[in-house]
Structure formats: C-alpha cells, structure tokens
A and B are shown apart, each in its own frame.
Chain A
Amino acid sequence: MNLRKYLKVYKKFLHTSLASELEYKTNILVDLITAILSLVGSIFLLSIFFQNSGYIGGWKFEQALIIQAIYTILNGITNTWFNPNLTEIVKHIREGTLDFVLLKPIDSQFFISLKKINPSGFLEIMLGFLLLFFCIRINEINLNLIFLTLSLITISCSICILYSLWFFISTTTIWFVKTWNAIEVLRSFLYIGRFPLSSFSFSLRIFFSVFIPIAFITTIPSEVFLGLSVFWKILLEIIVAIIFLINSRKFWLFALKFYSSASS
C-alpha cells in the first residue's frame, strides 16, 4: 500500500467533503446547535438518575460523567466519519454507484469509509474532550504517560469496535439491500454505552459485552481514567478490537464476491 498516495487522497477527501458541507451554511449551524443541546440534555438526564442515590452500579455522578465524555467523543467521531460514510454504503449498493468505487485503483474499504466528513461532528468531539478535561479535574486524576497511553489505546480500540460493527452491518446490504433498520438499532444500543456496564443486570452485562460489545466501547476507557481498570480487561478490549477489525475487512472482501451491481 502506497501510504503517501493514501494520505494525498485523504487530504482531497477532507477538502471536497468540507467544501460540499460548507455549501449549506444553515445545515451546519443547525447541526452545531443540536450537538450542544444533545450534550446538555444527556448530562441533565444523567443527573436525574443520580438524584436519589449518589451511586449507580458503584459509580459516582462525577465518575459517570467520564463515560458521558467518552460517549460524546465517540458519538462525535460517529457523526463526523461513520454516519456520512457508512450509511452511504447502503445507497451505493442500492443505486449501483459502488461500481465507480470498485473500479478505482484504491482500496474500496478505505474509499467508502473515509470519503466524506461531517464538520459539525468536530464540535461534538471538542465538547467531549472539554467535558473529559473537566472530569479529570473534578475526579483529581493524575495525568501521567502510562495513563495517557492506556487511555489512547482503549479509546482507539473503542473506535475500531464501533467502526467494525457499523461496517459489518452496512456490508450485509450486498445481500439484503436495505439495512437502515439494523443501523438504527446499533445507534440505539450505542446510547446504552452512556451508562456504566456494572449498572446493568448480569444477563444484560453479558449481552452488551459478548454479543454486542457496546459496553466495552465506553466503560473500559472510562475505567482507565478512574484508575479502576484491570490489565485483562484492557487486553480483552484490544483483542476484541483486532478481531472485529480483521473480520470486518474479511467480510467486506467476501461480500464483494456476491455484489451483482444494480441494473441499469
């Protein structure tokens, strides 16, 4: 793989999608306002849960805010990259425009996963980081190199798991043609990631860890921030992320063999 070429193409992707989005100023403004209101609403909801008892699943409100911050960052990443690109796969397959992607001398998964960006998602990422820094202060977390490395690794793994899950569902469009509902289900499961894994019952904990590893996505990075994490959990998240990423790739290449293109 020619890395220089891919960087150059990605620069072009950034440029063209930013230029496309900036054509519609009002839309961007509405998206930005929605991102702020959504964060305020989520924090308000979380505070209601903590009103009666100070703890949920052994987590304090200030600690649970970290999960909210990580969720906001991941949701921002989802809105910036995953949503505009991975939902487009369904359109590409239904309308047959995937033909153009497959005939380009570039990796098709790279192309369809990164071609577009939604700039308003950046604000959400920034708000998430602001909230995270605030949480670091109020929880008196000591910043050091190991902590930063571990948090970076776990957040990256979370991004990989989320991407793989989404990409996997979008890929099934090659057989099922319409999979919007499945993506909506995934998005609603993602909301669950705003709460600590320990706040759920045992059976739900198993479900959200094994079948749809949404809980991994936010809980494990949050535990790193609070110094509550154990080594095997981080290792498990890394393994899950690698397995998901490799399988999403294999599944895409396998599915392409069944691509029949839309009729003209």
Chain B
Amino acid sequence: MVQNIIDVKNLSKSFDISSKEPGLKGTIKHFFRRQTKSLKVIKGISFEIKEGEIVGFLGANGAGKTTILKMLCGLIYPSEGSISVSGYLPFRRRENFLKSITLIMGQKQQLIWDLPPIESFYLNASIYDLDKFEAKKRIKKLSEMLEIDEELFIPVRKLSLGQRMKSELLAALIHEPNILFLDEPTLGLDINAQRNLRKFLQKYNKETNATICLTSHYMKDITSLCKRVICVHEGAISYDGELDLLLKKLSPVKEILIVCRSEEDAIKLENSGFTVKNKIKNEITIKIENNSITSSLKTILNNFDIEDLFINEPPIDEVIGKVLIKKDYDI
C-alpha cells in the first residue's frame, strides 16, 4: 500500500493585514495610527497526499494556494492544526527534511544573475554536500532530461525566460528531492516551453516516483499532469478528488453537432426526443448526458442517415473557472 507522504489536519493560518483609506488624509492616518486586523487566510483544511502523487492546487488569486504550499515546505508557521511532510514538522526545517524537498517559484529566481547557471549548480551542490563527481553526474543527467546544454555556460541575464526556468529547475533538483513544490512554474513561458516543462515533470515523476504539489493558472498544466486536484476557495477546500470526476460533475452534458444527409433527416432527428440546442438546415446540435453518450450515439447512427458528427467538449478553462468561484462541490 502506498503511504501518505503529506498529512495535513485542521490547518489554519492568520495574517495581520493593515488597511488604508484612499487620499492624503487616509495616508496620514495610516502613518500615525495603522489599523491592522487579523485575517484568516487558511481555514481549518485537512488532506493527505500519497507518495508519487501529482496533486494540483486550484483556486482564484488570493485563495490561499501559495500559503498552503509555503506551510507545507516550512516557510510559514501555521497558526493552528498540524502538518507532517515525510514524517517531519516542516517549520522546524531539519536538515534531512530540507534535503528531501524543493520549492520552485515561477516568478522568483535563485540563480546568480551575472554568472552562467553552471556556477549556481555547483554552489547548490556544495550546500547539499555533494562531491564534484556526483554533482557533475547529476547535472549531466538533468540537463539531458531538460534538453539544455550550451545554455549552462551563458550568464543567466542573457538567457530567455524558458531557458532560465529550465536552469532554475535543474538548480532546484540537483539534490534529487522526493517532494517538489511548484508554484506556477510555467508563468510567462511560451506554449512550447510550457509543454517541455510539463513533459519533464511527467518524466521526473515517473523515473523517481517524486511527489509533486503544483499550483498553476494554466489549466493545461493541471490537466496534463494532475490526476487529483484540491480546489481552494477563500482559504477552505471546496473540492478534493479526481480531476475527471470534477469535470464530469461540472459539465454533465456534451454538445453533439450532427450533419445529416438531408434536411428531412434533420427534422426527423429533431422530433425524436433528444434535447435540441439548435438546427440550421441539415445541421443539428443536440445535448446528451455524459453517462448515456454511447447508447445515444448508437441509436442515432442506426436510425438516421448521418454524414458527419462532432462531439464538443466545453473549454476546460471555462469549466474549471466555475470551481474557482463556488464554495462547495460534493461528489
């Protein structure tokens, strides 16, 4: 049986936030008497993640995804509740715990700006207590997986965003961590760079059985990497389960565009009891529930003269968008 590597129980986090009224009067008031209030950004969440799982954290901006990730890797002290990652209390930041995790943030970088990435890799290798031979071996292996070569010897400031992100990944993975925390790793990357990064993460997960916790606003990252998603809404978990189930729940019907051989066939189909969305000449769009697609299509193909048909999936962004603004999804 696969063991839980992350165990979170009733986790909460509050921050003191100061607010300011607009205008000069508000600024002066804010300077002399700052009004702060405690804001609960994470509200008693609980979940478990198994070894080797890739879990996507979904939520609108400010929902609390990054705060959860930062508590999991030990950067932020939780206000209430308990967290166990690889059997450690993350916020104690024990050496062995830190050697087993990594955090990659799409909008922040750890590479030394004026030097080629290779210098940062060797610096990280010395911090993780790797000897030169081992470091060289790992850099070679990871650079092959990431398909970077000459870029390793060019100053970071001269690299493209995509090349820089690959180098950031290499720097973050040189110690072969078994838990990866990725906070919007594809932010700002072009489509090809995004695809390559996803491909790499899939391969890394497959080869090392590393656990990956990912937040991203690019739905493609989530759909191609994560079987399981945890949806966060205003600091609480609104859904935790399989992505496919969520999609089915959110879009229970599919639209099917059927091109009939003649207009008469289209009229016959219109009157046969299916829910019709619209009909233009010999083209008719009907709505069928997900669980009866196969049987319905069989009936249509057997009883009507069909020239062509198209199954339209609703855009994933649109479907997931619904989850970001709703509180609860019981499945």
Residue ranges of A at the interface with B (Cβ–Cβ < 8 Å): 2, 5, 8-9, 11-13, 15-16, 19-20, 23-24, 95-97, 99-100, 102-106, 257, 259-261, 263-264
Chain B 54-99 residues near chain A, CB threshold 8 A:
66, 70, 73-77, 93, 95-96, 98-99
Q: Within the assembled complex, what's the spacing in Å between the Cα atoms of A113 and B316?
A: 48
What is B's interface to A at a CB cutoff of 8 Å? 15, 66, 70, 73-77, 93, 95-96, 98-99, 101-103, 105, 107-110, 112-115, 119-120, 122-124, 126-129, 155, 183-184
CA distance A15 to B115 in the complex (A): 11
Give the Cβ gap from B207 to chain A, nearest Cβ, in Å. Answer: 23
- 30 example contacts (A-B, Cβ-Cβ < 8 A) are as follows A5-B126, A9-B123, A9-B126, A9-B127, A11-B126, A12-B123, A16-B112, A16-B119, A16-B123, A19-B114, A19-B115, A19-B119, A20-B112, A20-B113, A20-B115, A23-B114, A23-B155, A97-B109, A97-B110, A99-B70, A99-B75, A100-B103, A100-B108, A102-B93, A103-B73, A103-B98, A106-B127, A261-B75, A261-B76, A264-B107
CB distance B128 to A99 under 8 Å? no
Q: Is the CB of A103 within 8 A of B75?
A: yes
- Kindly state the separation between the CA atoms of A183 and B143 in the bound complex, as whole angstroms: 42
CA distance A103 to B92 in the complex (A): 11
Inter-chain contact B101/A20, CB cutoff 8 Å: no
Q: Specify which of B105, B110, B126, B183 is in contact with A12 (CB 8 Å cutoff).
A: B126
Q: Is there contact, CB below 8 Å, between A257 and B77?
A: yes
Chain A residues near B101: list those with CB within 8 A.
Answer: 103
Q: How many angstroms between the C-alpha atoms of A99 and B101 in the bound complex? A: 13
Bound complex: CA of A23 vs CA of B112, how far in Å? 12
Closest 5 interchain pairs by CB? A100-B110, A105-B98, A20-B114, A105-B95, A12-B123
> With A260-B15, A263-B66 given, is the CB distance from A104 to B184 under 8 Å?
no
Given that A20-B114, A99-B70, A259-B76 are contacting pairs, would A2 and B108 also be in contact in the complex, using a CB cutoff of 8 Å? no
Q: Please name all residues of chain B whose beta carbon is closer than 8 Å to the beta carbon of A16 when the two chains form the complex.
A: 112, 115, 119-120, 123
CA distance A12 to B118 in the complex (A): 12
Nearest Cβ distance between residue B215 and chain A, in whole angstroms? 9
What is the CB-to-nearest-CB distance from A224 to chain B, in angstroms, rounded to a whole number? 38
The answer for the CA separation of A261 and B74 in the assembled complex, in Å, is 11
| A-side contacts of B119, CB under 8 Å | 15-16, 19
Residue in A13, A259, A264 with the greatest tally of chain B CB atoms within 10 Å: A264
Nearest-CB residue, chain A, relative to B13: A260
Q: How far is the CA of A107 from the CA of B317 in the complex (A)?
A: 43
Could you tell me the distance between the alpha carbons of A11 and B184 in the complex, rounded to whole angstroms? 33
